Amino acid sequence: MCGNNENQWLHDRQYWDRSELPPYGALYYDKVLPAAVADLDGQTPYWQSSPYGGNDHNSRDEGNVHNWEVWHGNFPRRFGEPPRREPTPENVSFLRYADDMGRFISEFGMHAAPVAETLHRAIPPDQLYHHSPAMDWHNKDNPKNKGDDLMLSTTGLPDNLDQYITFSQIAQAEGLKFGVEHFRRRKPHCSGTLVWQLNDCWPVLSWSLLDYNGFGKAGYYYLRRAYSPVLASFKTCTDGGLELWLTNDTLAEVRDAVAVHVATFDGHLQWEASRELDVPASASRAVWHWSAGEFAGGADRYVSVLSSNGTFAPNRHFFVPIKDLTRQAVAPEMTVDAASANELRVNLRAPSDGYVYFAHLTSPSESTRFSDNYFDLEPGESREVTVTDPRREFSPGSLSLGWA
C-alpha cells in the first residue's frame, strides 16, 4: 500500500530550504496509515509515498523513481538543493532515460496526440490545427510547447495536423521504446517500470497510450513489443560501439540462433552475421559487442536482429535520430481478405527496394482491434495483421493505411 502520490516530493521541491516544515498530511502518511495497514492486514508492505527513498524523495540511489527529466526537463537533486526544471529540446529528450540508474521507475512518459478520429470528434472544425486555442486548451500540461521540444529532437516540427498526429506519436512511441529497453536491460538492479499513463478520462493531448475513445496510439503497440517476455535490444556504447542484449523475463533458459544484419533503407545488405546465444532464466545479458568501426553505421542504414525460432520479436536500431535518416517515405502494398463480416486479414508488404517505417492501420470505429500495428517492414518483408470488430461489420473503406 502507498500513502500518497508525490506529496512529499513536491512539498520538498516547493519548500526545499525549509526542512523543518512537514508536508501536509504527514501525520497520516507516517503514522495513521502504516498503523492501520499493520493492524488490519499485517502482511501488505506499506510505502509512505511514490516516489520515496534516498537523499531526495526521488532519489536514484534507493526507493522508487518518477522520471520527469524526460518531458518536463527536470534534473536530479538532493535534499537542501533548489529544484531545477529547464524544458528545452535537449532537456526533454527521451535520450535522457539512459542516465536513469533508478531501482524501480514507477512513473514516466510523454505526450502524444490522439488519433485523428478522436480529434475530429472533440475539436471544432475551424480549430483543427496545431496550437489552435482549442487544441492548446485540450493539452493537459504547461507550457504548451513541450511536445514541440520533444519533436524537435526526434522528428522535427509538423507542417499540418496530420503531421502533428504522426510526429507526436512517433516521438512518444520511440521514446517509450528507448526507455523501457534501457530499464529492462538493467535487470535485476532495475526490476520494475510503470508507464504514465494507460488511458484518458477526457479527449485530450496527453501522456496516454489509449485515447479517450479507446483508440491505441503508436506507443501502445510499441510497448506491447517492448514488454515481451524475451526482448532483444541494441545499446550504443560510450566508445562508439554497439551491443546486443537479450533480456529474459521467463523462468526458463533461452537458447536461440540470432541473426544480425546492417542494410541500407533502399535494400542493400552491408553486413551480416549469426551466432548461437543463450541467456539464463530471469536474466539480462549483453550477448554481442561490436567495436566502433566494426561495421559502418550511417544515416542511410539500420541494424536489425532476428530470432531463428521466434523467441523474440524482430528489433532494429537507427544510427541517427528519425529526422536525420536518409530515406524515402515508402508505402507498403496492402491486400485485404475478409475472414468474416467482423474479421479481416490484412497483408502488408514492403517493396524490395524500400524500408517501410511506421506502417499502421486506422479505423473510424473505436471497437476495432489489431493483432499488431505501427511497425516497420524491411525491404521485401511482409506481415499479416488480423483486424476484428465485434460491434460492427467491416465495409469497403473501413481501414486506412498510413506510414511515415
- pLDDT, tens digit only, all 404 positions of the chain: 999 999 999 999 999 999 899 999 999 999 999 999 999 999 999 999 999 999 999 999 999 999 999 999 999 999 999 999 999 999 999 999 999 999 999 999 999 999 999 999 999 999 999 999 999 999 989 999 999 999 999 999 999 999 999 999 999 999 999 999 999 999 999 999 999 999 999 999 999 999 999 999 999 999 999 999 999 999 999 999 999 999 999 999 999 999 999 999 999 999 999 999 999 999 999 999 999 989 889 999 999 999 999 999 999 999 999 999 999 999 999 999 999 999 999 999 999 999 999 999 999 999 999 999 999 999 999 999 999 999 999 998 899 999 99
Whether 109 and 66 have beta carbons less than 8 Å apart is answered as no
**Can you tell me the distance from the alpha carbon of 400 to that of 391, in angstroms, rounded to the nearest whole number?**
19
pLDDT tens profile 192-210: 999 999 999 999 999 999 9
The confidence score (pLDDT) of residue 397 equals: 87
E strands, 47-181, are: 64-67, 104-108
pTM: 0.96
**Can you tell me the distance from the alpha carbon of 217 to that of 214, in angstroms, rounded to the nearest whole number?**
9
**Sign of torsion over alpha carbons 323, 71, 173, 369:** negative
The confidence score (pLDDT) of residue 108 equals: 98
- Which letter does DSSP use for residue 358 in this model? E
Other C-beta atoms within 10 Å of 189: how many? Answer: 11
**Can you tell me the distance from the alpha carbon of 16 to that of 8, in angstroms, rounded to the nearest whole number?**
11
The confidence score (pLDDT) of residue 140 equals: 86
Domains and CATH numbers, the chain: 51-227 (3.20.20.80), 232-321 (2.60.40.10), 333-402 (2.60.40.10)
**Can you tell me the distance from the alpha carbon of 207 to that of 180, in angstroms, rounded to the nearest whole number?**
15
**Pairing state between β 64-67 and 104-108:** parallel
The H or E element containing residue 12 is: helix 7-14
pLDDT tens profile 297-319: 999 999 999 999 999 999 999 99
14, HSE (Cβ side, Cα atoms, 13 Å): 10
Please state the φ and ψ torsions of residue 13, each to the nearest 5 degrees: -70, -35
